[in-house]
Copies of this chain bind each other. A is one copy, B any other.
Amino acid sequence: MSAAPDAAARVAASFAAQDFMASLGARLTVVDAGRVDIELDVRPGLLQQHGFVHAGVVSAIADSAAGYAALSLLPAGSDVLTAEFKINLLAPARGTRLLARARVVRSGRTLSVCSCDVFALQDGVEKQIALLVSTVFAMRGGT
Residue positions of A touching B, CB distance < 8 A: 14-15, 17-24, 44-50, 53-57, 59-61, 63-64, 79, 81-92, 105-106, 110-111, 113, 115, 128, 131, 133, 135, 137
Shortest CB–CB separation between residue A101 and chain B, in angstroms?
Answer: 14
Pick from B18, B87, B110: contact of A48, CB under 8 Å: B18
Copies of this chain, whole number: 4
B111 touching A128, Cβ below 8 Å? no
Pick from B18, B49, B56, B84: contact of A88, CB under 8 Å: B84
A84 touching B135, Cβ below 8 Å? yes
B135 touching A57, Cβ below 8 Å? no
Cα A45 to Cα B64 in complex, Å, equals 15
